[in-house]
Amino acid sequence: MSECLFLAGASGAIGRRVAPLYVSAGWRVVGTTRSPDKAAALRALGVEPVLVDVFDAAALQAALVAARPSVVVHQLTDLPPALDPSRMAEATERNARLRDEGTRNLVAAARAAGARRMVAQSVAFAYAEGPLPHSEDDPLDLGAPGRRAVSVGGVASLERQVLEAPIESIVLRYGLLYGPGTGFDAPTGAGSLHVDAAAYAAALAVTRGTPGIYNIAEEDGALDCEKARRGLGWNADWRVG
């Protein structure tokens, strides 16, 4: 029987692009969604869907223990399409809670299920101001004001929990996403990243790379991604098909 990979956030923008890569690589993929309507779409990708809310710790743990995954991939977000400005204030709070409480539940469930490796989605636009390009060792903007403080605090919590867990853990700091399913057809600023290249990094990271943080973005002077190129064999130009 194939090894199991548990994909949390399988119906999201990156989840939908990376799931077929895992399936084609021979993994048995169990993927989460909160929407019954999206379960059929996941089955069409070759994913075994499980309906679960990451904030329901008991149900989430039961789902992982039943799946017994070797690898858990955290692609959970809660953001409006195209980052709709009229909805971002509320979404920022929800997304930060997901990164904090949701990650806590997912890490605990992964440990209970005996997973050996975790790959988690973070962001590369939470760095404090400083010389460019930013490397993974640069500090996050923990002193930011207002809504940015909420967002960066959630990012910091996610990364800390994942990296401190007694599991081989990789954090991918993604740039500003564009491409299918993101609401943006072209790069929107410095440190952008096509969703297919983001998925490619998540596909590589389940079997490659030493534990730690990796910047994942196009080379435009904003971010240093040499670690990902060297350690994961990643290429920002990679596209599905």
pTM for the whole structure: 0.96
- φ/ψ of 174, rounded to 5, equals -75, 145
Count of C-beta atoms within a 10 Å radius of residue 204: 23
Here the tokens at position 94 are 């929800």
- Interval 32-41: pLDDT, tens: 999 999 999 9
C-alpha closest to that of 9 among 76, 55, 109, 63: 76
Count of C-beta atoms within a 10 Å radius of residue 227: 19
Which residue has tokens 């060792």? 137
Largest Cα–Cα separation, the chain: 50
Can you give the C-alpha Rg of the chain in angstroms? 17
DSSP code per residue over 57-101? HHHHHHHHHHH--SEEEE------GGG-GGGHHHHHHHHHHIIII
pLDDT at position 1 over 70: no
Can you tell me the distance from the alpha carbon of 198 to that of 178, in angstroms, rounded to the nearest whole number?
10
Domain 4-174 falls under CATH 3.40.50.720: yes
Binning pLDDT at 50, 70 and 90, where does residue 82 land?
Answer: low
Can you tell me the distance from the alpha carbon of 220 to that of 161, in angstroms, rounded to the nearest whole number?
30
Can you tell me the distance from the alpha carbon of 131 to that of 125, in angstroms, rounded to the nearest whole number?
14
Which residue has tokens 């089955």? 43
pLDDT at position 80 over 70: no
pLDDT at 81: 66
DSSP code per residue over 156-224? HHHHHHHHHSSSEEEEEEE-EEEBTTTTBSS--STTEEEHHHHHHHHHHTTTSS-SEEEEES--SSSB-
Binning pLDDT at 50, 70 and 90, where does residue 155 land?
Answer: very high
SS3 state of residue 207: coil
DSSP 103: H
Mean pLDDT of all residues in 36-52: 96
Where along the chain do its domains lie? Answer: 4-174
- Interval 111-124: pLDDT, tens: 999 999 999 999 99
- Interval 51-78: pLDDT, tens: 999 999 999 999 999 999 999 999 999 8
